Amino acid sequence: MTAPSFVWLTVFFALPTLLIFAIALKPADPLGGIGEGWTLDTLRTLSNPNYPAIVARTLRLSAATTALCLLLATPAGYHIARASARWRQILLLLMIVPFWTSFLIRVFAWKVLLHPEGPVKRLLLALGLASPDSLLLYNEGAVLLVMVYTYLPFAILPIYAAAEKFDFRLLEAARDLGARGFYAFIHVFLPGIRRALWTAVLMVFIPALGSYVIPDLLGGPTSEMIGNKIAQRAFADRNLPHASALSALLTLGVLAPMIWVLFLQRRRDRRPAAAEAAP
Amino acid sequence: MSGFLVFEDVAKHYGPIKAVDGCSLEVARGEFYSLLGPSGCGKTTLLRMVAGFEQPDRGRILLDGKDLSDLPPNRRKVNTIFQNYALFPHLTVYENIAFGLRVARRPAAEVRAEVDRMLALIQMEDQAHKRPDQISGGQKQRVAIARALINKPQVLLLDEPLAALDLKLRQRMLIELDLIHDEVGITFLYVTHDQGEAMSLSDHIAVMNAGKIEQIGTPTEIYEAPRTSFVAAFIGDTNFFEGTVRETLDGDYVRLAVEGLPDLVCFNDKRIPPGGRVYLSVRPEKLRITREPPTPDPRRNAIETTVEDVVYLGSHTRYWARIGEYRLAVQQQHSRYLLDEKPIVWKERAWVSWHADDGFMLEQYRESDEALMSLPPAEDAGEAAAKPEKRVW
């Protein structure tokens, strides 16, 4: 690692993280500040009986978001890479354009769309796909939908970048050897872009774990995620150590899969070819 | 010739560009057939239509009597060796070769036996567990051959398979390809722009230019009896002469009047009557260059010229000899006799001669085809370009 990026990472990533870990070990101050001395009390409060359900929901929603994003982004990235230069530019532009609008406004836009009087509901009603008293908002489904919407570009971009460098003659070779198109896609294309798939997993799963605005605005009381709890502890309860403890939990939850993926990739790269003896 | 693989008036357009413009040819079972032509002549498109990656706009392709048109690539009994080999980078040599059988869901024991047999054929048993990026270009080539042959195709399609290799390796793989063809007895359809490869490997060659087939024949026919100026100039070098039949001589010979040269005698296999226009092609190695005039012979042409350039090439010497507008390319093999002689040098007067049978009449002549031939050394090429002249050497 070069010196400037090391300094950058230390100042803006390592130090704040350590600070959060440290604050988690401090007592809370009734005025909303941080008390003197060290304590493990805050960590004990993490055994709050509400938390396991929230953590499970956070993991479940993030995993589902990641899976759906990959499922949509892989064919999307493939087709963008195979499109003519003109179409490729248009498609990439269409993907970037929403970023020119504030994230918050886009989430509110979804709220309008999914509103009981909104266009989506009316369309579904007209098609007979929804009953008049069904609710599209304030549930896990709405949260999942908008999370997929939000994180999809972060999955498409690395997959597209890898697909663009992929040698599509390999797919022809697979077809030539008797493989149907789908078999070639699964057995030749996906292994060819597997690094990008892992990148996409990290790019979606990690920010998804920390989601807070989406469940806050579109979720109901039963679709809270850990991000909502952190915000609640910090802003409503003014209990910074407690918020820090939750944040530390989340950070560890993010770092663990990341380190695991890096480890897997490294082992794959270093594994001598002979170890993969075919028969 | 039984047509095993038959092209019937096949055409393919890309927008206004005619990539393949009405090609018909027949490949016999088990033969080594080459499609030879410059890049962009449509030979690769023709090959890709057999593989199924392109669909003809017109005409059809028959394999063993069956129309291929509606079959997708994976259902055609043909396999391709791609120009860059297209080995799967995430699979080992073994897995690459096994790919076709695994797609076909053949039993594991059979896959193992067949892959081992192929590895033995290409002599790479000890490299089976390496990945494509860990083996050399020649080895990749052999893996590509094994991967294609394991499916027991009815036709093996080879798309410039030697283009990525260096000269030495190319020569060795040339011999290996020939041996493999003899051993497996499968029909080979070979696409190349290299006339040397096509000549040394093929039973038949189809020479292509601008989407059309210029000539089909054995390597000897193509070289010795070119139909068009394109074939004559693309395959080896040649000298073109433009003349009019002055009179028919006894037997099958005619006397040609050629502007700026003494009359030429040539074999009249095309039965051109007096007054007819003739384009003659004479290969450089058919010409003899001597300091003394050759003994007069009614069946021999002899022209006194000035030597403009001499290039010694070891096994032979290349001369460019000028007479008027014509610059003749002469290629002379060396022998003890010639080496003992004082060599002919630049600016010397010398006699260029050839037998009447060594000139071949073309059916079709295009002046632009002369650009295909190797140019004389640079200074003269520059001079030739600066001073517009009829560039017939």
- Evaluate if residue B383 carries a pLDDT over 70: no
Q: Are B45 and B7 in contact (CB under 8 A)?
A: no
Smallest Cβ distance to A170: which of B88, B92, B112? B88
State residue B375's pLDDT score: 63
Query: B interface mutation test: which of A177, A186, A188, A194 has the most B CBs within 10 A?
Result: A177
State residue A276's pLDDT score: 43
pLDDT single digits (tens) B229-262: 999 999 988 999 999 999 898 778 999 999 989 9
Nearest to A160 by CA among A90, A89, A81, A86: A81
State residue A273's pLDDT score: 46
Count of CA atoms in the C-beta half-sphere (13 A) of A198: 15
- Evaluate if residue B388 carries a pLDDT over 70: no
Nearest to B94 by CA among B58, B118, B65: B118
Partners of B17 in the β-ladder: B14
**Is residue A249 assigned to a domain?**
no
* Full residue range of the structural domain in which residue A135 is found: 50-237
Smallest Cβ distance to B112: which of A172, A176, A279? A279
A192–B129 CB contact, under 8 Å: no
CA distances from A219 to A101, A140, A145, A213, A236 (A): 22, 6, 11, 9, 18
Which CATH number describes the domain made up of B5-224?
3.40.50.300
Measured between beta carbons, the chain A residues lying within 8 angstroms of B143 are: none
- Evaluate if residue B106 carries a pLDDT over 90: yes
Query: A interface mutation test: which of B55, B68, B78, B88 has the most A CBs within 10 A?
Result: B88
Count of CA atoms in the C-beta half-sphere (13 A) of B361: 22
Architecture of domain B229-386: Beta Barrel (2.40)
Once rounded to an integer, what is the mean pLDDT over residues A45-51?
86
Tokens of A187: 């057995």
Burial of A205 (0-12, 13-18, 19+ CB in 10 A): buried
- The whole-model pTM stands at 0.82
Count of CA atoms in the C-beta half-sphere (13 A) of B368: 2
Measured between beta carbons, the chain A residues lying within 8 angstroms of B87 are: 173
* Residue of chain A nearest B110, judged by CA positions: A279
B94–A279 CB contact, under 8 Å: yes
**Is residue A188 assigned to a domain?**
yes
Smallest Cβ distance to A178: which of B86, B89, B100? B100
Q: Which residue is associated with the tokens 């999955």?
A: A155
**Is residue A19 assigned to a domain?**
no
Question: B54-57 contacts: CB < 8 A, separation 24 or more?
Answer: B54/B12, B55/B12, B56/B10, B56/B11, B56/B12, B56/B20, B57/B11, B57/B12, B57/B13
pLDDT single digits (tens) A50-105: 888 999 999 999 999 999 999 999 999 999 999 999 999 999 999 989 889 999 99
* Residue of chain B nearest A272, judged by CA positions: B130
* Residue of chain B nearest A180, judged by CA positions: B74
Distance from CA of A63 to the nearest CA of B (A): 27
In this prediction, residue B377 has a pLDDT band, given cuts at 50, 70 and 90, of low
Q: What ipTM goes with this model?
A: 0.81
Q: Which residue is associated with the tokens 């391709």?
A: B80
- Evaluate if residue A195 carries a pLDDT over 60: yes
Measured between beta carbons, the chain A residues lying within 8 angstroms of B89 are: 170, 192
B51–A176 CB contact, under 8 Å: yes
* Percent of all residues in chain B with a pLDDT value above 90, rounded to a whole number: 65
* Residue of chain A nearest B83, judged by CA positions: A169
| Candidate ranges A17-31, A66-80, A130-144, A190-204; pick with highest mean pLDDT | A66-80
- The enclosing domain of A158 has a CATH number of 1.10.3720.10
pLDDT single digits (tens) B7-20: 999 999 998 889 99
Cα separation of the two ends of chain B: 38
- Evaluate if residue B226 carries a pLDDT over 70: yes
Residues 6+ apart with CB under 8 A from B112: A279
Q: Which residue is associated with the tokens 């407690």?
A: A242
Mean pLDDT of chain A: 88
**Is residue A32 assigned to a domain?**
no
| Domains held by chain A: number | 1
Smallest Cβ distance to B53: which of A170, A172, A174? A172
pLDDT single digits (tens) A179-189: 999 999 999 99
State residue A78's pLDDT score: 96
CB-defined contacts A:B, below 8 A: 79
State residue A274's pLDDT score: 43
Taking an 8 Å Cβ-Cβ cutoff, which residues of chain A contact chain B? 167, 169-170, 172-180, 183, 188, 191-192, 194, 273-274, 276-279
pLDDT single digits (tens) A114-150: 988 888 888 888 888 888 888 888 889 999 999 999 9
Smallest Cβ distance to B80: which of A167, A176, A192? A176
Measured between beta carbons, the chain A residues lying within 8 angstroms of B128 are: 278
Nearest to B372 by CA among B22, B61, B39: B39
Tell me the domain boundaries of chain B.
5-224, 229-386
